[in-house]
Amino acid sequence: MRLFGKKRGDDEPVDPNERSPQLGLKYKDLMVLDQLMKSGADLTATRHVIYYSYAPSKEVAQAMEGEAAEAGWRAEVREPLPDFPDQWGVVCERHAVTSPDFVREADDFFQDLADRRGAEYDGWEASA
């Protein structure tokens, strides 16, 4: 199964935040799915999925944690690293089938959550 249906010239770079016209997924999400497939993952099987965001304060991180939990995610706030005191980690997990619909909806959820709270959505990973 080919995930990248690039219609551009081979030398033209693709913005990873642009959406593919075929699936409506961001190219960066297609890259994660491609890596899962290269690792032998069956994309129709349920797997552990983790989404990462960084909030500018503990209060914002806790609000994001609560909203993610209400949406069915197991969410946890992590203290910032010493070198990044204004980046409170918000780690959200669940088991799911990484279908295009799931990935698109989860990506949109976490991007919107971060945008509304003045935070940064960093991306996701999943077990193979």
Average pLDDT over residues 110-119: 98
Residue 72 lies in domain: 45-126
Sign of the alpha-carbon torsion through 25, 31, 37, 39: negative
What integer pLDDT is reported at residue 1 of this predicted model?
Answer: 45
**Which CATH number characterizes residue 62's domain?**
3.30.70.970
- Is residue 72 included in any domain, yes or no? yes
- Is residue 55 included in any domain, yes or no? yes
Average pLDDT, the chain: 92
Whether 9 shows a pLDDT value over 80: the answer reads no
Whether 8 shows a pLDDT value over 80: the answer reads no
- Is residue 13 included in any domain, yes or no? no
- Is residue 81 included in any domain, yes or no? yes
The C-alpha atoms of residue 67 and residue 75 are separated, in whole angstroms, by: 9
What integer pLDDT is reported at residue 10 of this predicted model?
Answer: 61
- Is residue 49 included in any domain, yes or no? yes
pLDDT band at residue 13 under the 50/70/90 scheme: confident
Question: Each residue of 65-111: pLDDT tens digit?
Answer: 999 999 999 999 999 999 999 999 999 999 999 999 999 999 999 99
What integer pLDDT is reported at residue 7 of this predicted model?
Answer: 52
pTM, two decimals, is: 0.86
- Is residue 113 included in any domain, yes or no? yes
Q: Which residues contact 127 (CB under 8 A, 6 or more apart)?
A: 47, 48, 49
Total structural domains within the chain: 1
Among 103, 86, 82, 81, smallest CA distance to 32 is for 103
